[in-house]
Structure 1
C-alpha cells in the first residue's frame, strides 16, 4: 500500500502545474495514472513500483535534453557533495596500491592531521575490519572511513620501516572540498589561480586567493578553467563580477515561457583592472563558459586554449516525493553579446557525448584551421572583435593539444600505480634527506633533477610490477581485427573450397597486417620520449609527498605548454593591443 501511495504522489506531482506546455499534457498525465493504477490493480504478478517509476523517469528525461537527469535517493548526497564544498570524514586522500590503502595526503587541520597521520602511512585495519586484500576498493574505503561528524574510528597503520603497527583514534569532522587547491605567484607581477569547479564555497575561495596574491604584488592574473565542468550559476556570476565593471551584463537566461533572468555586474569587482588570461579546453563547460564568455564579450581579457565543451543549459534541482532528485533544464543561457553557447543535441545523446571524439577526428584539437563558423554564429564585441556562438567558447588564442605527449607505456605505469608506489617506498628511506636538501617548493623546482640512476630504479620497479617496454602480441585479438578489416577481400579471394589449397596470398596479407599492427602498437609506446614523461611524473609525486598538492602542481605546470604560452602572452603588451583587450 505504501508503494501505491508513492506512485500516486509521483503522478500527482506531474499532473499539477502552473503552466501547461500544450493541450496534450493533461491527457498524457492521465494516461500515466491510468496505466499505474491498472498495473497495481490487475497485473498478474507482484511489481516493484520503485523500479518501474525510476526506469520510466530516466527514459522520459532522456528524450528532453542531455543534461536533465534523475538521481536516486541513495545517490543524492554523493552527487551534491562536490558542489556543497564539504563532507564528513577523517581528512585524507588515498590510493589503493597492491590491495592496500595508502595515505597520499593529509588535509592540514583535519582530524587525521590532528592525531599525527602522515602521507605514506598504510591503513591495514579500520575498527575491527581488516583493510587489505581483494575486497578493498574506493567504495569500501569511503564507506568505512567516512561517517557523521563526531563519530569515532580506530585505524591500524603501518608506517615506513617500522615493524610494529600504530593505532590512531580519529574523531570525524567536516572536511572541506576545496575548489581552489592551486594559486601562486608565477613572477613578481603575475598570479595564477586554478578553479576545479564552481561550488558553494568557490567565490570565497577565489576572493581569498585573489587577495593573498594581490598582497604579494599581483598585477596580472592567469585564471585556469581547464577541465572545469561547471557548477552553480550564481557562483559563476559572482566570480565573473570580480572582472567586469558595474552594470555590464554578465549572463542572461531565457526560455519559451520568458521567465529568464539577467545578471549584471555590481561595484564589488576586485580585479577589474590588470591583464587577464583565462585558460580553457574542451572539458571547460557551463559555468566556465559563462565566465570566459563574459570576459571575452566585454574585451576584458584573453581566452587561451581550445574550444570549450558547449553546455549552455541551466538546470534546477528539485526533490520528488521519496527525496530522489531531478535536475531539470529550465533555461538556456546567453553571453552579453547574445551568444548561446549550447552545442546541438538534436541527433541524440550518443552523438552529443561523442562530439568531442568527432572534434578530435576532424583535427580540431590540433589545428585551428579545421574549425569554421557560419556568419549567423558570428558576433561583435564593443571593441569590434569577432566572437562565435553555437557550440562552446572559441578562444582568442588557440593552443593545440600536444599529441606527442602520449605513451601507452606511460599510461600503463599510471594505471598500475607505479609512480605513487615507487614514491612511497622511496620516501620511507629518503624523505628526511630530501626535505633537508629542498626545504621548500621553490628550491625543489629550481634544483631537483631526476637522475639517470633514479630513472633506472623506477623502471626496475615497474618491471617487477609487470610493466614491459614491449607490448604483448595479443595474437587472437589482432587476428580477429585482421578478418574484420579484410572480410570482403578474403571472401572474394577464397570463394570455394578449392581456393584454400593456395594460401600464399593469405599468408602474405596476414603477415603484413600483423607486422604493421604490432609496429603501430610499439610506436604508441613512444619509447623515445617516455623517459621525459616519467621524469615529470616522478617529480610531481615527490613534490606531492614533500609539500602540499598545490605546491606540487607547480611542477606539473613547468612542462605545460598552454601555461607556458599563457605566461608569455600576459607579459606581452603587443598581444593585448592587437586583440583590443583591456590591460
Structure 2
C-alpha cells in the first residue's frame, strides 16, 4: 500500500512534466521542488524555512538591494520609519550585558512613573535581561507592545539599596529624525537629519521655520550617516531649496517608469547660502537631495564621496506579514546622472559590495581626493553654471574634507569599540548629573565645562582592567578628542542629543570647513568652479 502511494505521488508529479512540457511555466519547477521536499524528504522539514530560503536565494541572484524580510523584521523596520511605535519611552544603551537608561522620553510613560537616567533595568515582566547574553532586538521586543498594555520593570538604582519595581503603561512614542537644529552663528543655522522617515518633512519644516524666525542667512544641512528612507520625504525637503518646476529626481526601470518629481516653488529657503554635508554613509534619499542641490548649483556639497545607492526598491507585503523589497528602477539626478556604484549580480558578490567602504579606505580615498576614481564617460554638467560633476558611484563633494586621523591610536579604537567612554560618562552622570544640571545651563555647559581629568584616568583604568596593553604616547595622541567626546556624551545624558552635537560639532573638521566657506567669501568662488 505504501509503495503504491509513493508511486502514485511520483506519477502525479511526473505526468504533466512529460506530457505538457512546453506549456508549463518555469516557476513550476520551484513549486514542484517544494512539493517533493515536503512530501518525500527523509526527515521532517520546516516548510516555512525552506520557502523563505528559496525566496532569499532568488533575490540573492539580483542586485544587492533586493531583499526579503520576515514578519518580525518588517515590524521593527516599519516602526523606525513610520515615526512612532508603542513602548515605554526610554533611550537606552547595552553595556556589559546590562541595560542602562540613558534618558526617559520627556513626558513619556517611563518618566511619568519615575524611571531616571542611569537606572539599570534587570528584568522585564520577571524575565531576566541582565547577564544572560540577550540580544538587543529581543530586549526591544520585550519592551514594546500594544498601546495601554502594562509591563513590569525591575530596576537597580545607584544609592538605593533595594531593587525597585515600576509598572509602565505602554504608549505612543515618537521617532524623531532630526538630531539637532540650532544656530551655529548669528547668521547660520544647522540641521542634522538622521533618516528620511514618514514625518521627516514635517519635522524639517518646523525646524527650518524656527531658524528662519531667528533671521538666518545661511543653512548647513548635515546628512552624514543618513542612509536614506522614504523618497517622498527627500522630495518634500528638496522643495524648500529649489525654484518652481526644477526637477528634483526621476526614476525608471526596464518594466516600471516612476517618472519625474519637481519642486513646487513654495519652499522656505529658496534664497540664502546652503551647504550640504555628506560622507561615505550618506545614501539613497540623502543622495537624491544632495544630487539635486548640486545639479542646480543651489548649494555646495562638503565632505566625502557618498555611498552610491541609486536603485529604487518597491516594498511588497506578503500575506504572513513578511516583505520583499524588490528593485524596480534606477533614479537619476536632474542632470541625468545615475549615482549607483558598480556591482556584480549574485550572492557571492554581495559581500564585496558591502565592503566597498573598506576598499575605499584601503585605496586611501578617505584621506586624499586624488584617490577617488572618476570616470570621464560619466561626466555631466550642472544645469545652471555648467560645472563638471560625475555619476557612477555616489555624489562627489564640491569640497573634499579628509578623515581626521591625527587622534586615532589603538587606545582610541579600543576605548570606542568597547564602550568605555559611554560607561565612564554614565558613571559620572549617575553621580554628578543633578549637580551639573543645577550648576550650568546648556549654553554655560558648552562654553565653560571642562572634562575632569579623573574621567580620562577612569577610561585608562578600565582598559587596564580589561587587560588591554597601550603606550602612553597613544593615550596622549587621543586625549583631546576623547575628552571632547566624553563631554558630548555627558551633555547628551543630561540634556539631549542636540546638546551632544552642539559640543561635538565645535571640533568637527567637516562642519568647520563649511563655516570657513561661509565666513570667508569662498562660497561663490566654489560654485563657479568644477569639483574641488
Map of 1:459 onto structure 2: 460
State the alpha-carbon separation in 2 of the partners of residues 318 and 174 from structure 1.
26
Query: Relative to structure 1, is the Cα distance of residues 29 and 560 closer, same or farther in structure 2, using a 3 angstrom cutoff?
Result: same
Map of 2:437 onto structure 1: 435
SS of residue paired to 2:406 = coil
Query: Relative to structure 1, is the Cα distance of residues 162 and 300 closer, same or farther in structure 2, using a 3 angstrom cutoff?
Result: same
CA shift, 1:327, in A, is: 0.2
Map of 2:140 onto structure 1: 142
Map of 2:19 onto structure 1: none
Given that 2:256 and 2:329 are in contact with CA atoms closer than 8 Å, whether structure 1 keeps it comes out as no
How big is each residue's C-alpha offset from its partner over 1:151-182, in whole Å with a ceiling of 9 and x where there is no partner?
11222333331223433221101111111121
How big is each residue's C-alpha offset from its partner over 1:460-497, in whole Å with a ceiling of 9 and x where there is no partner?
3553x425442xxxxxxxxxxxxxxxxxxxxxxxxxxx
Map of 1:562 onto structure 2: 510
State the alpha-carbon separation in 2 of the partners of residues 137 and 38 from structure 1.
37
Given that 1:413 and 1:467 are in contact with CA atoms closer than 8 Å, whether structure 2 keeps it comes out as no
State the alpha-carbon separation in 2 of the partners of residues 386 and 46 from structure 1.
61
Given that 1:315 and 1:331 are in contact with CA atoms closer than 8 Å, whether structure 2 keeps it comes out as yes
SS of residue paired to 2:257 = coil
Query: Relative to structure 1, is the Cα distance of residues 134 and 52 closer, same or farther in structure 2, using a 3 angstrom cutoff?
Result: closer
CA shift, 1:296, in A, is: 0.2
One of 333, 340, 353 as aligned partner of 1:335: 333
State the alpha-carbon separation in 2 of the partners of residues 175 and 25 from structure 1.
54
Given that 2:189 and 2:211 are in contact with CA atoms closer than 8 Å, whether structure 1 keeps it comes out as yes
Map of 1:413 onto structure 2: 415
Map of 1:366 onto structure 2: 367
SS of residue paired to 2:523 = helix
Given that 1:441 and 1:552 are in contact with CA atoms closer than 8 Å, whether structure 2 keeps it comes out as no
Map of 2:206 onto structure 1: 208
Map of 1:573 onto structure 2: 521
CA shift, 1:218, in A, is: 1.8
CA shift, 1:457, in A, is: 4.3
State the alpha-carbon separation in 2 of the partners of residues 41 and 437 from structure 1.
73
Map of 1:517 onto structure 2: none
Map 1:19-98 onto structure 2 (within 5 A). Answer: 27-98=25-96
Map of 1:272 onto structure 2: 270
Q: Does 1:398 align with 2:400?
A: yes
CA shift, 1:131, in A, is: 4.3
CA shift, 1:26, in A, is: 6.5
Map 1:71-470 onto structure 2 (within 5 A). Answer: 71-257=69-255, 259-346=257-344, 348-381=349-382, 382-438=384-440, 440-463=441-464, 465-466=465-466, 468-470=468-470
Map of 1:16 onto structure 2: none
CA shift, 1:384, in A, is: 1.4
How big is each residue's C-alpha offset from its partner over 1:62-95, in whole Å with a ceiling of 9 and x where there is no partner?
1110100011123210122221111211010112
CA shift, 1:458, in A, is: 4.2
Query: Relative to structure 1, is the Cα distance of residues 578 and 280 closer, same or farther in structure 2, using a 3 angstrom cutoff?
Result: closer
Given that 1:304 and 1:397 are in contact with CA atoms closer than 8 Å, whether structure 2 keeps it comes out as yes
Moved more, 442-451 or 120-129: 120-129
Give aligned pairs, total. Answer: 504
Given that 1:316 and 1:328 are in contact with CA atoms closer than 8 Å, whether structure 2 keeps it comes out as yes
Query: Relative to structure 1, is the Cα distance of residues 547 and 174 closer, same or farther in structure 2, using a 3 angstrom cutoff?
Result: same
Moved more, 429-438 or 143-152: 429-438
State the alpha-carbon separation in 2 of the partners of residues 33 and 232 from structure 1.
34
Given that 2:223 and 2:278 are in contact with CA atoms closer than 8 Å, whether structure 1 keeps it comes out as yes
SS of residue paired to 1:75 = helix
TM-score normalised per structure 2: 0.89
Query: Relative to structure 1, is the Cα distance of residues 189 and 467 closer, same or farther in structure 2, using a 3 angstrom cutoff?
Result: farther
How big is each residue's C-alpha offset from its partner over 1:188-224, in whole Å with a ceiling of 9 and x where there is no partner?
1111111111111111111111111112222211000
Query: Relative to structure 1, is the Cα distance of residues 128 and 260 closer, same or farther in structure 2, using a 3 angstrom cutoff?
Result: closer
SS of residue paired to 1:528 = helix
Map of 1:551 onto structure 2: 499
CA shift, 1:121, in A, is: 1.5
Q: CA RMSD in A?
A: 2.2
Over alpha carbons, which structure has the higher Rg?
A: 1
State the alpha-carbon separation in 2 of the partners of residues 431 and 264 from structure 1.
49
CA shift, 1:338, in A, is: 0.2
How big is each residue's C-alpha offset from its partner over 1:22-70, in whole Å with a ceiling of 9 and x where there is no partner?
xx99631232233334444554554332222111111111111010001
State the alpha-carbon separation in 1 of the partners of residues 344 and 96 from structure 2.
45
Query: Relative to structure 1, is the Cα distance of residues 34 and 404 closer, same or farther in structure 2, using a 3 angstrom cutoff?
Result: same
TM-score normalised per structure 1: 0.82
SS of residue paired to 1:529 = helix
Given that 1:219 and 1:274 are in contact with CA atoms closer than 8 Å, whether structure 2 keeps it comes out as yes
State the alpha-carbon separation in 1 of the partners of residues 31 and 451 from structure 2.
68
Given that 1:121 and 1:159 are in contact with CA atoms closer than 8 Å, whether structure 2 keeps it comes out as yes
